[in-house]
Structure 1
Amino acid sequence: MNTNFMSLTLELFVGFFALLVMTKVLGKNQITQLTPFDFISALVLGELVGNAIYDKDIGLHYVLYAVAVWGTLIYTIEMITQKMRKSRPWLEGTPSLIISKGKIQYEELKKNKLDLDQLLHLLRDKGVFSVREVEYGILETNGAVNVLRKQPLDFPINRDLQIPAKPVHLPVLLILDGEVNEEGLSHINKEKSWLIDELLHRGIAGPSAVFFAEWQKGEGFEIQTY
């Protein structure tokens, strides 16, 4: 019994870290640009590892083999689509214009197996509650819909409102879950003592009392305590 537990534990560890390595190799696009194929391939990869771990007739080396082969196939497809532009429509699909000049393109919906209820749901995800607000709508390869609103209903931008331009700065995370982010302090050329003094000045005992704190040039601190 102890041997079985040790064997299962070892296989779980190997399977876990093999999947972790594979996700790092395949890159962030597996999540941020998840196409139907990517979703299915991720499920299959997890299923292969699961079966290899819990099937008593399959050894540890099969776990690694399954991850390596399936990951190699996915990586190869990614390399092909990066190097050969003509392969992208076949392997990744192409965006579809499902709303054109305010009119729903029925044939495109039918081609993409999308019904009106699904379309309306996807539009609401973008903050659009009526088709009449949309001039153009594009169904992306990952299943999301991006819209270009009709001009009278579109959001104004700073240039439209004639707001003077000013520099834009990224906020820097300084404290998270009570722990100081040394990298953030280094980024703004400050010491930990400076941060503690700023907290004390605001009546906060120290970093351990802070749930979240960030600093932005021109805006100062945003601090939330526990």
Structure 2
Amino acid sequence: MDYLHLTVELIVGFVALFLMTKILGKTQFAQITPFDFISALILGEMVGNAIFDESVTIWKILFAIIVWGVLIFSIEILSQKVQGIRGFLEGKPSIMINKGKIDYSALKKNKLDLNQLQTLVREKGCFSLHEIEYALLETDGTISVLLKHQYDVPTNKDLNITDKQVRLPVSIILDGQLEKDNLHMAGFDEEWLKKQLSNYNIHKYSDVLYAEWRADEHRFYVSTY
């Protein structure tokens, strides 16, 4: 196969898949349902096979991607509009532990053994199945855990801590590059930023690996290389 022709097909396939994935949404990246997972696999396999088949032209590759993308998009819209088929396409969460008792039939139905269940709950920071009141196996294969009352972490409300407004931290500098939009969103200008950096004896943005503003703490954090 001509290397130039192969290069063009690779570039076209990459761009087409990238655009299709952006159009279809973030679920194609996260693969949150079996349907999304299969769709992503088929799209990649379709382009991969077509690229190394000399009888397949670039236009056929694009046509296949577009048709498959339209099918996926149509089914996604249909599942949003028609609730009855949503469970069939996306699946439903399964209760693995119900009121502190392990549901063995649910484990068998979902092809899950106790070792796998222990691994999944450990990823949630829980190292004993006895501490769990409810555990749900989600459609993306992860597990959600609700601990028993005596093992759960107390909330601010439980501790009667005074309410405080929660704000997102704002990244100001990333890899030595100033994020101007974030700086203005935080309500500051470059003069303010330079003054903050000078407190750390820093005079160039390129010397900063990461810097952020924490509005809830009214503090500026800096990490250098």
- Shared fold (TM-score greater than 0.5)? yes
Q: What is the root-mean-square deviation in Å for CA atoms of aligned residues?
A: 1.3
After TM superposition, give the deviation of residue 29 of structure 1 in Å.
Answer: 2.1
Corresponding residue for residue 20 of structure 1: 18
Please report how far the alpha carbon of residue 195 of structure 1 lies from its aligned counterpart in structure 2 after TM superposition. Answer: 1.0
2:140 is matched with: 142
Q: TM-score, normalised by structure 1?
A: 0.95
What is the CA-CA distance between 1:154 and the residue it aligns to?
0.4
Identify the residue that residue 202 of structure 2 maps to in structure 1: 204
> Partners in 1 of 2:216 and 2:139 — Cα distance?
40
Q: Pick the aligned partner of 1:173 from 165, 171, 191.
A: 171
Quote the residue 1:221 is aligned against: 220
Counterpart residue number, 1:90: 88
Q: Give, in whole Å, the separation in 1 of the partners of 2:29 and 2:159.
A: 36
**185, 188, 191: which is aligned to 1:187?**
185
The SS at the match of 2:165 is coil
2:190 & 2:49 partners in 1: Cα distance?
49
SS at match of 2:66: helix
The structure-2 alpha-carbon separation of the partners of 1:105 and 1:218, relative to structure 1 and needing over 3 Å to count, comes to: closer
**By how many angstroms is 1:217 displaced?**
1.3
Letter in 2 for 1:128: C
Distance 1:44 1:111, change over 3 A: same
Matches of 1:110 and 1:80 in 2, distance apart?
31
For residues 41-98 of structure 1, the C-alpha deviation after alignment (integer angstroms, 9 at most, x for no partner) is 2111101001111211111012111211221221122111111111111111111111
Question: Where in structure 2 are the equivalents of 1:1-226 lying within 5 Å?
Answer: 4-32=2-30, 34-219=32-217, 220-226=219-225
Identical pairs, percent: 51
Q: Which runs of 5+ in 1 are unaligned?
A: none
How far did residue 32 of structure 1 move? 3.6
Q: Distance in 1 between matches of 2:19 and 2:30?
A: 18
Distance in 1 (alpha carbons) for counterparts of 2:130 and 2:87: 30
- Deviation readout 1:82-141 (Å, 9 max, x if unpaired): 111111111111111111111111111111111111111111111111110100111111
Q: Deviations over 1:194-224 (max 9, x none)?
A: 2122111221122110000000214211110
Q: Distance in 1 between matches of 2:191 and 2:54?
A: 57
The Cα shift of 1:33 comes to 5.3
Give the unaligned 5+ runs of structure 2.
none
